[in-house]
Structure 1
Amino acid sequence: MTRLRLGLRTRVVAGFAAGALTLSACMALVSYGLTRNELIGGRERSAVRSATFDARVVAAGLNADKPDIGGMLRTLDTGGNRRVLVFHLGKWYSRHAETASTSAVPQSLQRLVGESGQGIQRARLDGSPVVIVGILLSPATALYEIDSMRELDQNLRTIGWVLALVASAVALAGAGLGWYATRYVLRPLRSVATAAQGISAGDLGARLDPATDPDLEPLSTSFNEMVDQLARRIERDRRFAADVSHELRSPLQTLAASASVLERRRDRLDERTATAAGLVVDEVARFQQLVDDLLELARGDLPAQLEPADVAELARRAAQRRGLDPAIVDAAQPGAGGLRWNVDRRRLEQVLVNLLDNAVTHGGGPVAVRIETDGPDGAIEVDDDGPGVNPADREVIFDRFERGRSAGARGSYTGTGLGLSLVAQHVAAHGGRVLVLDRPGGGARFRIELPGVR
């Protein structure tokens, strides 16, 4: 089972939202509880005062010779929320002529009033909440006043919904605050990521400003020192490769001149000597190519010099340099023939030559070179007729001196091992990438994608 991994921003936003929701929910519950207790307590105290006043009125009326309990109850100002019941000599009386229902007053409250002389109890009557106050007027008489709390209950429900909405709004505000905080906190990290991407793309001038954030000054300083050391290391390597290649050129020229003399006189030598001379000539030529590739790698860190160039013409010229038929270049798509791209002419031609050389050496020969366009982007594909490239080798073959495990199947081991590395370097200098795919029908397809060249 794959475990869901949340990003830092998501976790921080969720934490802020959960914290805000918890705090607001606690405050809402406390506020609701205090408000509810205060309102209900106030209502109960008001009910006790009203019942006490009404009890005095009824008690005074009962002192008459023939008391009219119903008439006395009708004189009471109870409004629309209160009902008054009187239990006198085993009978129930109300404001109306009919006998009051004994089920309105709980038995527990009647016992409490009979024992202590006064009592109060909350109950539900006809589905609505009420508070019932009972007062003992005499051993045989008791008054009960039922005060409806329906309006108060509705108000409490409204308060509860309002507090719930406020808690939700506070949680959303907490999430917004968390998002803003992470955006602010992660801004320096984005600067680091941007600088690192620039460095990986070859821009060794990318640096961080230590004065941006005092808390991140150690990180910025360490990052800049690391980039400085990397730049110095790359410059030393580049200079070393250039110096070595330059120093090797002079003796190589002498060897090449001597090898050319041997090559011209091979027919005068015996078979064994002629074979040895041929090997010397081939290895000197390979050595010269290796030195040229090393010099090209040493210059590869320089920015690309972009200028409009006819890509189809560059491809045909590269094919001619390899002794191939220029007709393998497929530039017949609308807009492809004579198409001019903003590229480094020297680098792109070197890329095409190296891919064609790779196809000749390891891929059974090139089949086609296609030029494609997609809006402002361009792509070039070189197909060969070889056994293809092992999927496990499709990344490593662009490393220096790496031929991959399928090199033996694709041909001999001749070459410098730097051709495809130069291809990747020159394409990266254009901000593009190079891919190895399977060609339909067999073979390999090297695809170069160059963004924004039109």
Structure 2
Amino acid sequence: MNLHRQVALMFAGVALAVTAVLGVSTALLLYPVMVEQRERTTERQAAIHARIIEQVVLAAPDQLADTLRGLDRPIASYSLVYVDGRWYTSNVTADPLDLPAGVRASAVAGRQLVVRVSLPTGPSLVNVRPLPAAGAGYVEVFGLSDITQTTRTLILVLVAAGTVTTGLGIALGRWAATAALRPVTALTRAAAAVASGDLDTRVSPGRAADLRMIADAFNRTVAALRRRVERDARFAANVSHELRTPLMTIVNAVEILDARRATLTPADREVVGLLRAEVRRFQRTVTDLLEISTAPDRAFVFEPLSLAEVVQVADTVAGRPVVGTTGTGDGAIVTGDRTRLERVVVNLVDNAQRHGGGVVAVTVEPGRDTVRIVVDDAGPGVPANLREQIFERFGRASGGSAGTGLGLALVAEEVRRHAGRVWVEDRPKGGARFVVELPTDPGAAHALPQA
């Protein structure tokens, strides 16, 4: 999980927790307060109604039923009176048997009682008042369903508010993370650009003091790295130039000796053969070193190129036909430097010939926005842990390799300068498959720094 998402989820979690605490607290506190307020109201109302009923029982008992029905009470309430062993109710649906036994006993015995009970009509508040002068008991039942419904509605509103608040928390978290981590994102992109070879990349210091220190350190490091790379390149170029003259003398001397093999003894011919092979290897090393160190200084000649034509050089290197196409490879056009791309193909084919058991095929595979050059060999393949190392300077697939370790490094650098990628993978039928992927966008390679 990336840091942006972590910050957004943290904001959302805080918003949800605050909403949940407020919702639970409100629900737990509001219901008892509303019920307590209802109790005080009903006690006063029940006391007033009890006095009225007591007077009616004493003065005009035949009007008791009409008086009960005429009492001013809330809709969700009703009254009952116990007189002379008989129950009177304010409406026909009220049944004394619905009341708990303790409530009925209190009305019969004339004891005052206030209690919350659960009746068939829902949660209710029962208020029992004695009528001592009339020897009766008055019961008034008040429904609490409206309070319960109000509390539930409030909880639903709070849940909805919590959902909205959580969404706002996520949005706020993403915005805050983006704003706070923008310098870090810029630093990450700059580091990736440097890793890909762009040593001209720099990071803007910004206004934050802490980030300014990091940016300055990064810029100093990249500048030092660039100077180191340039110094190493100059050194390699100077050494290569200095070695070429004596090397050519040695090469010519060995060629003269090799031309006179017929006059040499078998032992001398063997020595000359070993010397000739080592001198050629040394010559390839010096040539590769000189080319890889001077490549950034050579001018690029960008032009539309048919990769199907560029890869034809592979037949010459392999000494036999190895080039094929996939799909419409003949129409695969890229913008690049022909000489440099031909060198990429030459190095890949030469690598397959010398280290990969021989090249199997070289194909061009056009895609939607890219074109691939695929070089298959018949070797043992490249272990997964070495597939990046072999594209580094002096990197080899194994300690026993006789290569210079520069050919594939030159391939990687030239492909990068063409805004492409190169990698190695397993060939389906065994061996290694080297893939060069180049963009078909004419402006892609021009947009990259070529130094």
Matched, 1:337 2:330: yes
Pair 276,95 (structure 1): closer, same or farther in 2 beyond 3 Å? closer
In structure 1, the partner of 2:369 is 376
In structure 1, the partner of 2:448 is none
Contact 1:378-1:453 at 8 Å conserved across structures: no
In structure 2, the partner of 1:3 is none
Query: Equivalents in 2 of 1:424, 1:382: separation in Å?
Result: 14
After superposition, residues 23-38 of structure 1 pair within 5 angstroms as 23-38=18-33
Pair 274,318 (structure 1): closer, same or farther in 2 beyond 3 Å? same
Give the letter for the 1:308 counterpart.
P
Q: Tell me whether 12-21 or 270-279 shows the greater mean CA deviation.
A: 270-279
Q: CA deviation at 1:377?
A: 0.8
Contact 1:304-1:344 at 8 Å conserved across structures: no
Uncovered stretches (5+) of structure 1, i.e. residues with no partner: 1-5
Q: CA deviation at 1:313?
A: 2.8
Pair 89,235 (structure 1): closer, same or farther in 2 beyond 3 Å? same
Q: Tell me whether 263-272 or 204-213 shows the greater mean CA deviation.
A: 263-272
Q: Tell me whether 223-232 or 295-304 shows the greater mean CA deviation.
A: 295-304
Matched, 1:130 2:118: no
After superposition, residues 256-335 of structure 1 pair within 5 angstroms as 256-301=251-296, 305=300, 306-320=302-316, 322=317, 324-325=319-320, 327-331=321-325, 333-334=327-328
Q: CA deviation at 1:271?
A: 4.9
Contact 2:125-2:142 at 8 Å conserved across structures: yes
Q: CA deviation at 1:168?
A: 2.4
After superposition, residues 104-119 of structure 1 pair within 5 angstroms as 104-109=98-103, 118-119=112-113
Give the letter for the 1:351 counterpart.
V
Query: Equivalents in 2 of 1:200, 1:147: separation in Å?
Result: 78
Q: CA deviation at 1:58?
A: 1.9
Query: Equivalents in 1 of 2:427, 2:148: separation in Å?
Result: 77
Matched, 1:352 2:345: yes
Give the letter for the 2:285 counterpart.
L
Deviations 1:105-125 (A, max 9, x none): 444446667999633222222
Matched, 1:80 2:68: no
For the residue of structure 2 that corresponds to 1:204, the secondary structure is: coil
For the residue of structure 2 that corresponds to 1:222, the secondary structure is: helix
Give the letter for the 2:336 counterpart.
V
Query: Equivalents in 2 of 1:368, 1:99: separation in Å?
Result: 96
Contact 2:318-2:353 at 8 Å conserved across structures: no
Query: Equivalents in 2 of 1:207, 1:61: separation in Å?
Result: 98
Q: CA deviation at 1:27?
A: 0.9
For the residue of structure 2 that corresponds to 1:416, the secondary structure is: coil
Matched, 1:236 2:231: yes
Contact 1:432-1:449 at 8 Å conserved across structures: yes
Tell me how many residue pairs correspond in the alignment.
Answer: 440
Query: Equivalents in 2 of 1:323, 1:420: separation in Å?
Result: 17
For the residue of structure 2 that corresponds to 1:312, the secondary structure is: helix
Query: Equivalents in 1 of 2:210, 2:85: separation in Å?
Result: 85
CA RMSD, 1 decimal? 3.2
Q: Tell me whether 271-280 or 352-361 shows the greater mean CA deviation.
A: 271-280
Contact 2:78-2:140 at 8 Å conserved across structures: yes
Q: Tell me whether 379-388 or 369-378 shows the greater mean CA deviation.
A: 379-388
Q: TM-score, normalised by structure 2?
A: 0.85
Query: Equivalents in 1 of 2:21, 2:363: separation in Å?
Result: 68
Deviations 1:354-409 (A, max 9, x none): 1222233234433332112112311112233445445565444334334433x86x
Matched, 1:193 2:181: no
Q: TM-score, normalised by structure 1?
A: 0.84
Query: Equivalents in 2 of 1:425, 1:66: separation in Å?
Result: 112
Query: Equivalents in 1 of 2:372, 2:68: separation in Å?
Result: 100
Matched, 1:40 2:35: yes
Give the letter for the 2:97 counterpart.
S
Query: Equivalents in 2 of 1:68, 1:365: separation in Å?
Result: 119
Pair 76,331 (structure 1): closer, same or farther in 2 beyond 3 Å? closer
Deviations 1:126-151 (A, max 9, x none): 24122122222216222111122333
Query: Equivalents in 2 of 1:159, 1:392: separation in Å?
Result: 61
In structure 2, the partner of 1:205 is 200
Contact 1:242-1:294 at 8 Å conserved across structures: yes
Contact 1:388-1:438 at 8 Å conserved across structures: yes
Pair 102,421 (structure 1): closer, same or farther in 2 beyond 3 Å? same
In structure 2, the partner of 1:434 is 422
Q: Tell me whether 239-248 or 72-81 shows the greater mean CA deviation.
A: 72-81
Contact 2:65-2:89 at 8 Å conserved across structures: yes
Q: CA deviation at 1:209?
A: 0.9
Pair 366,108 (structure 1): closer, same or farther in 2 beyond 3 Å? same
In structure 2, the partner of 1:398 is 391
Query: Equivalents in 2 of 1:158, 1:40: separation in Å?
Result: 16
Give the letter for the 1:431 counterpart.
A
Pair 18,269 (structure 1): closer, same or farther in 2 beyond 3 Å? same
Deviations 1:42-100 (A, max 9, x none): 3222222221221222232234276643343244233533322222344322346x897
For the residue of structure 1 that corresponds to 2:59, the secondary structure is: coil
For the residue of structure 2 that corresponds to 1:206, the secondary structure is: coil
Pair 245,164 (structure 1): closer, same or farther in 2 beyond 3 Å? same
Pair 227,113 (structure 1): closer, same or farther in 2 beyond 3 Å? farther
Q: CA deviation at 1:341?
A: 1.9
Q: Tell me whether 429-438 or 144-153 shows the greater mean CA deviation.
A: 429-438
Give the letter for the 2:77 counterpart.
R
Contact 2:110-2:132 at 8 Å conserved across structures: no
Give the letter for the 1:252 counterpart.
L
In structure 1, the partner of 2:65 is 70
Pair 68,238 (structure 1): closer, same or farther in 2 beyond 3 Å? same
Contact 2:107-2:139 at 8 Å conserved across structures: no
Give the letter for the 2:422 counterpart.
V
- Pick from 216, 220, 224 the counterpart of residue 225 of structure 1: 220
Query: Equivalents in 1 of 2:347, 2:215: separation in Å?
Result: 40
Query: Equivalents in 2 of 1:399, 1:89: separation in Å?
Result: 109
Contact 2:110-2:131 at 8 Å conserved across structures: no
- Pick from 97, 101, 117 the counterpart of residue 103 of structure 1: 97
Give the letter for the 2:65 counterpart.
G
Matched, 1:59 2:54: yes
In structure 1, the partner of 2:411 is 423
